[in-house]
Amino acid sequence: MTNAAAPKAVVDTLVWFKSSYSSDEGGACIEVATCSSPHPTIHIRDSKNPNGPTLTLGATAWAAFVADIQHGVR
């Protein structure tokens, strides 16, 4: 996991998406964006606060995070 925040210029150019299982009613969604330059990273933010902080993960950490969720690890 990357502790440093992504530069604002990078975050401003990302294309964000959320799961098709999400709705606009609940407001409890995260949005995800990917960036391949200079190293593959995945950016995560709260859909209710798009100008708030983002969590940036490398590709390996993201894969481990998703695998843990799929296996019910909390």
Residue identified by tokens 């990357």 is: 2
Domain-by-domain residue ranges, the chain? 8-70
Average pLDDT over residues 28-41: 87
pTM: 0.73
Residue 67 scores a pLDDT above 80: yes
